[in-house]
Structure 1
Amino acid sequence: MLLASAALWATPALAQAPNGADNSDVIVVTAARSVLPPNALPLTVDIIDRRALDQQSAIAGSVVDAVSNLTPSFSPTRGKLSGAGETLRGRSPLYAINGIPQSTPLRDGSRDGFTIDPFFVDRVELIYGSNALQGIGGAGGIVNQVTVGPPAQDGVSGRALLQRNAGTDFKGDGLGWKGAGLVGYRAGRFDATAGAAYQQRGAYYDGHGRRIGTDSTQGETQNSDSWSFFGRFGYALSDTARLDLIASRFDLKGDGRYIAQNGNYLINLPTTSVRGDPPGQAAANRTESIGLSLTDKSLFGGNFVSQVFWNRSRDTFGGEVAPIATFQDVRLAPIGTLFDQSQNRSRKYGTKLSYERAVPGFEALTATVGFDTLFDRTEQVLIATDRVWVPPTDFRSLAPFGQVNLALFDKKLRLAGGVRNENVRIKIDDYTTLASYGGGHFVRGGAPKFSDTLFNGGVIVEPTPGVRAYASYAQGYTVPDVGRIARAVNADGVDIDTYVNINPIVSNNQELGLEFKRGPFNLSTAYFWSKSAKGQVLVFIGGAYEAQRQKIAIEGLEINASVATSVPGLTLSAGYAHLKGRTDTDGDGRLDADLDGANISPDRVNLSASYDRGPITARFQTQVFLSRKFDGQPAANDFEGYAVTDVTVRYQTKFGGITLSAQNLFDTFYIDYYSDTVRPTDNAHFFAGRGRNVTLGWDYRF
């Protein structure tokens, strides 16, 4: 994957012509940080547009589910508030809203997929593979959620949404509903848009009609309430220059009405939920983001983008007593009696500045220069006993970059390349680990600095419109889960200044791609290799996951195809992804085991039929997750595979659109991928997937 550069500006996406022949219809992918069209970049890029996002949201209700349903190399979702183990191409993606990072890599709480309601998202941009496009965090790729744009014309406009959903048996505690509204106003150069969304989710039931188990520690989307607020205020300084302020806030909190009841993995009986009062505060997620952008699409003949942003998140995890041995301390309470729960607190701010234009006198060469900054402060505290689990950690990144793109032979051949220099400092003061880590160890703080120069390069060949091949090399850059590493120090004499385990992760990604988009046919395929000499693997130790630094190698194949049939409005699509990941578990330099289900997704086949004609739009889709054995892992971790089918139908009337959707149409019973491959013998976390879920919705635009 390529590019470490260029512009960040949420301009509206335009649908790409099926034959690739009309450049005026080319999408501007803001996550790529360039105004060059996608066919000019050696990247695998997907766009989930407004209509596709509305369909997937009607089926499953979240941006994460939409991305997972449509992307074969993305992991099946867990159906929980936590996204731990959900990967893209075997690595964690960077979630962003208008380019503002939502991920918290210093202490990954895995809540970054739930930071805004999809009602306020205009499209989702996916860039596959390790890259440094948005700085740290894009190990598996980028999931950029571009929010709704300004009103198209003067006056008042808006939209409203009402939904009601239920499981197969329409049980009272399984009922949920959602209401959302958005109002925009434009008067000349000024515009303002504001909206709110509220969703109440009921209990989830599996394909056998049993209530799905509650993960009270990591958090649930079932039996929860969420509020999402959005505001956008803009002013056109000129025909090409614009000032935008965009803000959002998202709150999701569990209702705390259920506790888990153990299942029995030996007889394939999943964990369930029963009425009860879990101790402490319910698991919750709160995220706030503000971004101020000044842009000029024609500043001295080029595209200028500047952005200042601020983001804050607070992830509250549920607590338990005896099972979480990590929290125990005999100085506070006898073993087996101490209750506690943790909370991640993260605050980040930064800037992005770039300028892109064709070189005067040599218009075939487009050059970009820019500078990014990011400041992050994260800690994890135990809120019941007022202890610190992860000490306050400060991160600073200063990153100048440059990029060039050369078009030759009437744009039939392009050469691209660039460089980005990441200057990073991680600062931790002196601290002492919890008593459960060998009695507690004093760790001398420090402020180690790291500097890495990241390169990328690629070649794109497009001999005729709609036929494109590319080859690329790019380096991704992120930090390990410093919080997990710092809190788990179990030896004396550790000094943060020299502790090698917190060194940043550099991933090297190579890719070959081929695309054919002509007439009714659309075919794309990509093969990639991704390696990290010192990557990160999550390992379950002593009741909690800890991060271990291991050598990692991942390779995979992705194929997607679609055809517009002779039936007007009917399109058939298919997708396939094959991934293989290996790791060095003993540090001898040899890859001796497969990555497990917490670190890599299963092979998958996606099949779908879409219909769009007149007042009717519909989609029928099936995801087939193929069985897998993991070399070097316990036999119990083997994955049996399963298939899930969804359907959605919408009918447009003059009074709005009526949508009827069904998730897991055939009410298939299955154990979810994460439970089946990561903790398959843990009866308290042996979770089934969600059974049939029906949603009826009405939406109206004015």
Structure 2
Amino acid sequence: MFPLSPLSRAVALACLSVSTVHAQTLDEAAQPSSTVVVTATRGAKSVDKIPGAISVISQQELASQYLIADDPSQALATYVPGYSPSRQKMTSAGESLRGRQPLILLDGIPQSNPLRAGSREGYFADSAIIERIEVINGASAMQGMGATGGIINYITKSARADGTTHGLSVRASGQLRSDNLDWKTGYHVTHKDGGFDLLAYVGMQRRGMGYDGNGRRLGIDNVQGDTLDSRGDDLFFKIGQRFGAQRIQLSLNRFTLRGEGDYKNEPGVVAAGVPTTSLPGRAPGEPPKNKVRSASLDYRHDALFGGAFSAQLFSHDFEALYGATPASTFQDARLAPIGALYDQSQIVADKRGARMTWVRPDLLLKGLEMTVGLDILRDNTLQRLATTDRTWVPQLQFASTAPFAQLEYDIGPLTVRGGVRHEQARLTVDTYSTLAAYGNRVVQGGETEFSKSVKNLGAVWRFAPQWSAFVGSAEGFGLPDVGLVLRGVNTAGKSVATLIDLQPIITRNNEVGVNWRGANGQLGVSRYESRSKLGSVLRVSAAGIGSVERVPTVVKGWEVSGDWRPLKALSVFGSYAVTDGKTAATQGAPLDLSLPARAQGPDKGVIGANWQWAPKAQLRVQAAHLRDRAINIGRKAGTSKLEEHFKGYTLADMALTFDSAYGRFGVSLENVFDKQYVGYYSQSTAALDAAGTYAGRGRTLALSWNRSW
């Protein structure tokens, strides 16, 4: 069903010497992998009791990857089999998990904006504050709305050792050109004294331009957003106090990433295969930027009525400004001659919420655990045109209340889990008028409500020492991009309450898998099928205008991943993922269209090794292969051309770190062989767009130093 190329088969076979959870480092690998604990399930849970494919990216693995490329999505693409290739941009359009959108969290605070998904949620915090990343693959309702593809929870660092510790870090990378130096520095202080702990971090980063394998300056995306020619800063603060069995904690994060505006996009030559580049100069308007402000107050009681209770109050304020463009959608003859009006889109999303969970082990009988809780979310999202102060998407007032309950029963080597979450949600929108490009249509405001129970059921059987098998079925709850639907209304007489496009997306993920976890390695293989009867597919017309089509979608795939330690000083790791997503041209039509690059990544293999060649030195080498993909040949849906072609490529990286009395030093090479390539998304989706065919980074040298005292 999934034919493989010779190179793909080789990578997949190599992965059979490795496993599902990448949570062990060279120093930790001797310990049983079942000790790895995942908190994204709403309670601390060993991975061998979770009926699903879990990926845990450890702090050491993140440090190695961020030395190679300080790019959050590139770390996910390396360690999570079903995550699509990184765009290497501020925009994350086209980045997905198993062909669907994941819910992104920071310490449980939702960072995603499903009501108006502007593809800017990938940059919300400095990578230096992240301790590990937990990924639950496949649809889930454990953390609320939006996890139709899975959950990605970034866990921030905390003070671990008693006393006061200071730390300083510096990273610089470049390609030996005058305008492409990237540098980053950060300072942190931690303090722990009995039940009191504190962590504070301040960091700043400046990114220059980049060059491809042919030595040509990379193209900058002045509209959707780019990390090229940008600056970022982050201020993070966490303070906690324990009182016996109770703990209270306050966290604050203030992050900003913005373009400098010193370069502008220069289209390439599609017919000659010349990708987009950049020239010195200022593009119209203000450069794109992300501004994120998050806060949470957490409380935990480890012995409340025989169980553990946790509660979180959170706020999340998000702003994304996009670059100026004379897009046809923005034109209005009342403001300027048609074609002469430049405007800038801005998304503003403010969330307030509360999350409560109580976990009671050994309820009524030994081995029976109950988890109950309640989530409350208030989300206000709008999209405006900042230059002319026009409404593009009216304020979307979303309110959700969701109680849930989960039971887990351990019967010897068998663990059975099942639960239900009831989503009671309401969307309120005031009466508004669409832009002139859509005919200045008046859309009557109103309310639309959703009430849906989503379920999960699964089991894990530890059928032999170090071996386990799982089977699971879980549903996820989400909405289509409501803003994209409402802003595109171009016929009279519409109202919010009657727009069928606002019906929720319910996705069911069925999965089976086998895991081996031993002292010297681990291996995991899983097969899944994800279905939604009323899915959401973004299609772009010949005029370049996007619209949401509500059609069924099915994603099938398999994944293998793991690691193995043949020698005390050597470990190898790898993964291979096959993803096959299908949809229909219209409701009722056959499911014979492949999901596009906007929604699904190509088949992907990753393999690498860590070699501790000296007591305080480690070498890391890795390679990633993306398989060729040609889909929907000659097919259209309305005026949208669906045909896509992708020529795969293989990239290799390496990193060397060593400890000394003066701190830890690191040196890395990204794209070791200086491969010339055009990214997956650009090849597939923007193949005919001379201004959007972006090449990837060529060979890049990075140096780092960090020290704690």
Shorter-chain TM-score bucket reads over 0.9
SS in 2 for 1:689: coil
Q: What is the TM-score of this pair, normalised by structure 1?
A: 0.94
Q: Name the structure 2 match of 1:593.
A: 593
Structure 2 distance, partners of 1:573, 1:397, is 41
Q: Name the structure 2 match of 1:220.
A: 226
Structure 2 distance, partners of 1:557, 1:360, is 36
Contact 2:516 2:523 in 1 (8 A): yes
Q: Name the structure 2 match of 1:8.
A: none
SS in 2 for 1:462: strand
Structure 1 distance, partners of 2:546, 2:696, is 22
Q: Name the structure 1 match of 2:74.
A: 65
Contact 2:363 2:370 in 1 (8 A): no
Amino acid at match of 1:381: R
Alignment partner of 1:357 is 2:360: yes
| Coordinate RMSD, CA, aligned | 1.6
Amino acid at match of 1:553: V
Alignment partner of 1:242 is 2:247: yes
Q: Deviations over 1:135-170 (max 9, x none)?
A: 0111111111100113421x2113211111101xx1
Q: Name the structure 2 match of 1:10.
A: none
Q: Name the structure 2 match of 1:273.
A: 278
Contact 1:20 1:517 in 2 (8 A): no
Alignment partner of 1:379 is 2:382: yes
Contact 1:551 1:589 in 2 (8 A): no
Q: Name the structure 2 match of 1:686.
A: 693
State the 1:636 CA deviation: 5.9
Alignment partner of 1:305 is 2:310: yes
Alignment partner of 1:211 is 2:211: no
Q: Name the structure 1 match of 2:557.
A: 556
State the 1:190 CA deviation: 2.2
Structure 2 distance, partners of 1:162, 1:441, is 53
State the 1:19 CA deviation: 7.6
Q: Name the structure 2 match of 1:331.
A: 334
SS in 2 for 1:363: coil
Q: Name the structure 2 match of 1:428.
A: 429
Contact 1:150 1:234 in 2 (8 A): no
Amino acid at match of 2:550: R
State the 1:511 CA deviation: 0.3
Distance change (3 Å), C-alpha of 1:79 and 1:215? same
Q: Name the structure 2 match of 1:517.
A: 517
SS in 2 for 1:228: strand
Structure 1 distance, partners of 2:459, 2:193, is 45
Structure 1 distance, partners of 2:361, 2:257, is 46
Contact 1:485 1:501 in 2 (8 A): yes
Q: Name the structure 2 match of 1:103.
A: 112
Q: Name the structure 1 match of 2:5.
A: none
Structure 1 distance, partners of 2:545, 2:224, is 11
Amino acid at match of 1:200: R
Amino acid at match of 1:30: T
Structure 1 distance, partners of 2:669, 2:63, is 14
Alignment partner of 1:341 is 2:380: no
Q: Name the structure 1 match of 2:531.
A: 531
How is 1:592-631 mapped onto 2 (pairs within 5 angstroms)? 592-612=592-612, 614-631=615-632
Structure 2 distance, partners of 1:347, 1:291, is 14
Structure 1 distance, partners of 2:194, 2:521, is 42
SS in 2 for 1:244: strand
Q: Name the structure 2 match of 1:43.
A: 52
SS in 2 for 1:436: helix
SS in 2 for 1:136: coil
Q: Name the structure 1 match of 2:9.
A: none
Contact 1:93 1:143 in 2 (8 A): yes
State the 1:572 CA deviation: 1.6
Match of 2:38 among 29, 36, 56: 29
How is 1:447-458 mapped onto 2 (pairs within 5 angstroms)? 447-458=447-458
Q: Deviations over 1:428-459 (max 9, x none)?
A: 1001110101x221101111110001111011
Match of 2:408 among 398, 405, 409: 405
State the 1:20 CA deviation: 7.2
Contact 2:550 2:587 in 1 (8 A): no
SS in 2 for 1:32: coil
Contact 1:53 1:63 in 2 (8 A): no
Alignment partner of 1:637 is 2:640: no
SS in 2 for 1:397: strand
Contact 2:286 2:323 in 1 (8 A): yes
Structure 1 distance, partners of 2:562, 2:450, is 43
Q: Name the structure 2 match of 1:3.
A: none
Structure 2 distance, partners of 1:563, 1:40, is 22
SS in 1 for 2:691: helix
Structure 1 distance, partners of 2:549, 2:465, is 46
Structure 2 distance, partners of 1:22, 1:332, is 63
Structure 1 distance, partners of 2:311, 2:268, is 53
Match of 1:176 among 179, 182, 202: 182
SS in 1 for 2:202: strand
Q: Name the structure 1 match of 2:191.
A: 185
Contact 2:32 2:517 in 1 (8 A): no
Structure 2 distance, partners of 1:697, 1:163, is 4
Structure 2 distance, partners of 1:21, 1:252, is 40
Q: Deviations over 1:249-298 (max 9, x none)?
A: 11000010111111112221001000111111100001111010000222
Structure 2 distance, partners of 1:371, 1:424, is 13
Structure 1 distance, partners of 2:648, 2:516, is 31
Structure 2 distance, partners of 1:544, 1:50, is 41
Distance change (3 Å), C-alpha of 1:516 and 1:51? same
State the 1:695 CA deviation: 0.6
SS in 2 for 1:191: strand
Contact 1:157 1:184 in 2 (8 A): yes
Q: Name the structure 2 match of 1:294.
A: 299
Amino acid at match of 1:431: Y
SS in 2 for 1:186: strand
Contact 2:551 2:587 in 1 (8 A): yes
Amino acid at match of 1:418: G
Structure 2 distance, partners of 1:584, 1:361, is 49
Contact 2:632 2:644 in 1 (8 A): no
Q: Name the structure 2 match of 1:165.
A: 173
State the 1:301 CA deviation: 2.4
State the 1:22 CA deviation: 7.8
State the 1:69 CA deviation: 1.7
How is 1:384-399 mapped onto 2 (pairs within 5 angstroms)? 384-399=387-402
SS in 1 for 2:591: coil
Structure 2 distance, partners of 1:49, 1:57, is 12
State the 1:498 CA deviation: 1.5
Structure 2 distance, partners of 1:640, 1:595, is 17
Distance change (3 Å), C-alpha of 1:498 and 1:142? same
Amino acid at match of 1:661: S
Q: Deviations over 1:294-340 (max 9, x none)?
A: 0022223211110000000000000112xx10000111111111110
State the 1:212 CA deviation: 0.8
Unaligned 5+ runs, structure 1: 1-12
Amino acid at match of 1:621: Q
Match of 2:62 among 29, 53, 56: 53
Structure 2 distance, partners of 1:104, 1:96, is 11
Structure 1 distance, partners of 2:364, 2:464, is 26
Q: Name the structure 1 match of 2:461.
A: 461
Amino acid at match of 1:337: A
Amino acid at match of 1:33: R
Q: Percent identity?
A: 34
Amino acid at match of 2:173: N
Match of 1:257 among 246, 262, 278: 262
Contact 1:94 1:138 in 2 (8 A): yes
Contact 1:157 1:183 in 2 (8 A): yes
Structure 2 distance, partners of 1:366, 1:14, is 28
